[in-house]
Each structure stands twice: as structure tokens, then as C-alpha cells.
Amino acid sequence: MSLPILYLDDYLVAIHKPSGLLVHRSPLSRDRVFALQQLRDQLGRRVWPVHRIDRATSGVLLFALDPATAQALAGQFERHEVEKEYRALVRGWTDPEGVIDHPIRDEEGHGRPQPAITHYRRLHQVELPEPVDRYPTSRYSLVAVAPLTGRRHQIRRHFKHISHHLIGDTTHGNGRHNRFFRERFGIHRLMLTAQRLCLTHPASGERLCLHARPEPDWQRLCNAFGWEQPNMCAEG
């Protein structure tokens, strides 16, 4: 399977990573296929990762094509100069917009909690006549999410903190709602996508914004709920 290329020049390449694919080799996983290796073989040249998104998350993933570009791009991420926006489907109706300012420990609960801040705004909401939980109907929201920090599983853990669990999250989510989406809509993945990434091109100095491609799972839900199309239910 070829990885969809969103952007390619002499300095960098961006792909649309599918859900379920690791960015690179990890001692915690026995996977034999990774985005880094697959893209290297696809382009026939070495690539350098400059950031990461979780295995379960899909969307825009950026690589450099030389060490100097990798260093320049990594610096932009470290200085929080890169704009990141995600799409997430969550349980319940969120506020129209909000900020989650909640420190996060590592996944094992070790060490001091680290500062973590996530902005969000609600794009759409729906109420279904299905008693999935303890209520006679079930509500869901589509949100645009902008994490200002980059803690592991930050978005998933932050929305759990405000009781708006992400659909398809088998670690921090709600099993009843996950099961409902599997059985009713055929959703077998985490509904979280890195939708947009904006950065300063390290060679030209111009602002470059990269957008994820439409995905069948999102399009199916947008159609079912009557939300705008075509790209991740519009906006942003």
C-alpha cells in the first residue's frame, strides 16, 4: 500500500497517515511496518521524522528530506510555532468552545504532571434516538481541536477529563459508545484525525498549510448525521 502524499518538494514531504500505522519502530510494539520505513521505500530515499502522531490517529504527518531541514522543523515544533488542528468525534454535547488546562502525567502515572493545554471549538452536534448509556437518547459532538502542548495521548486524556470521551478510544474512552459506533456505523477506529498543519517553510520562509484528505469513515458519519461535506465535515 502506497502512502498518500500531500506535499513534496526538495526539502520536505507530508503524507496522510492511516489509522493503525506506527510512525517509527517502538520497543513497545512488535509491528513490522512503519510510516518511516514505508515512505523511505516509496520515495527511494532517506527521510527524517520531525514530529509524531499516535498509531490510532490518522492525518497529516511531516518528514524532512535532509538533516538540516529536520533540525529547522523540529525547532518550530519545540517553539510552538506550528499550528496543529485535529478533528475529533466525542460523546456528549461540548461547550461551543473551550480551553482544557489540565496537567498530564506519563501513561504509567510516574513523575510530576506536566503542563498540558488544549483549545477546542464545536463544529457540529447530533442527538440520536438511541439509549446507548443511561439516557433515552445519545448526543455527540464534532470538535476542532488545537493542542498547544504535545503530551502523549493529550487530546484523548483531556476530553476524558471533561467527560467527553473520544469515540473509538479503547484506552481512555467509553466502551458502550464505542460498541454502538462499531455495530451501527461500522467504525472500528479512533475518530481522531490530524486535519491541518501550518508551518514556515524552512527554505522559502513562506507559510505552508497542509490538510488531510477526506476519509471514508468520516464521510460516512457526516452523511449519516447531515453534517457538511466534503473534508472532515468542513470548517478550518
Q: Which residues are catalytic?
A: 54
Instruction: Find where cell 533540525 sits.
Output: 71
Burial group, residue 190, by CB count within 10 angstroms (0-12, 13-18, 19+) = buried
Distances (CA, A) of 180 to 87, 91, 167, 191, 220: 20, 12, 10, 13, 15
Q: Determine the Cα–Cα distance for residues 73 and 179; give it in Å rounded to an integer.
A: 39
Instruction: Find where cell 522543523 sits.
Output: 73
Distances (CA, A) of 29 to 8, 50, 200: 29, 20, 33
**Helix (H/G/I), strand (E/B), else coil: 33:** coil
